[in-house]
Amino acid sequence: MDTKIKELSVFLPSYNEEGNIEKVVIGTVKAVSRNAEKWELIVVNDGSTDKTGEIAKALCDKDDRIRLISHEKNLGYGGSLQSGFYNSKYEWISFIDSDGQFDFGEIRKFIERQRETGADLVIGYYKKRRVSFAKIVTSKVWEAVVFILFGLKVRDIDCGFKLISKKVIDEIPHLESQRGAFISSELLIKAKKKGFKFTEVAVTHYPRTKGEGTGRKLNVIIKSFIDLLRLWKKLR
């Protein structure tokens, strides 16, 4: 039996990751080549002010299976995920953060779990999260609120490593959020409402060695909670 997935689109949301992007792209290409018969890799450059775009463009020029989408201004993690989802062309879609905190070689576990369960979405969860205690606490509070409002229970809503059937994205033609803390929840809530099947798989999380994350700024967190309440009112 062929162990490779037939078609896989992978995208990398990227903002000011000049210290990580080349290594992440090269590692992802090696892993996706081992695990997919037909594939594409999309770098979503979200208005970076450093050399992320230049480095990504040079990598695209070497392989026509690698594409670059550049936002003129920074739209946020949610905007990057929207660009990645709606520009992916293959039957299955995956993404990882471009900060070097995931090994895309672990996509093999996602593919195996999907085949075992027939799930439409395979959601990663951290074996051990390599972030501050404060970030872990805010994530758990967020997950508790999502469960109370929507009945959605997964171990790590915001884990930046997922495998999703393109039919899920086709059935959810509009994701509203531009913010990272909300868009993963919005996608999963809407997928649950449409009856798609979920499963989960553990992934390794590595410490960030270069650059700085932006997803836990206080204004982002507050606005994400506001977005969550708006969605709850809309879907009630």
Domain holding 106, by residue range, is 5-235
pLDDT of residue 25: 98
What is the mean predicted confidence (pLDDT) over 12-18?
A: 96
pLDDT of residue 32: 98
Is 0.85 topped by the overall pTM?
yes
**Amino acid identity for residue 212 in this structure:** E
CATH number for the domain harbouring residue 144: 3.90.550.10
Of 87, 32, 31, 80, residue with least CA distance to 52: 80
pLDDT surpassing 90 at residue 174: no
pLDDT surpassing 90 at residue 205: no
Number of domains in the chain: 1
For residue 170, CA distances in Å to 47, 88, 94 come to 26, 11, 15
Of 20, 32, 21, 38, residue with least CA distance to 163: 32
State the Rg of the chain over Cα: 17
pLDDT of residue 171: 95
218-231 confidence digits (pLDDT tens): 666 777 777 777 77
170 Cβ contact list (under 8 Å, min separation 6):
none
Average pLDDT in the chain:
88
What is the mean predicted confidence (pLDDT) over 127-146?
A: 71
Name the 3-class secondary structure at 80: helix
pLDDT surpassing 70 at residue 179: no
Higher per-residue confidence, 93 vs 78: 93
pLDDT surpassing 70 at residue 108: yes
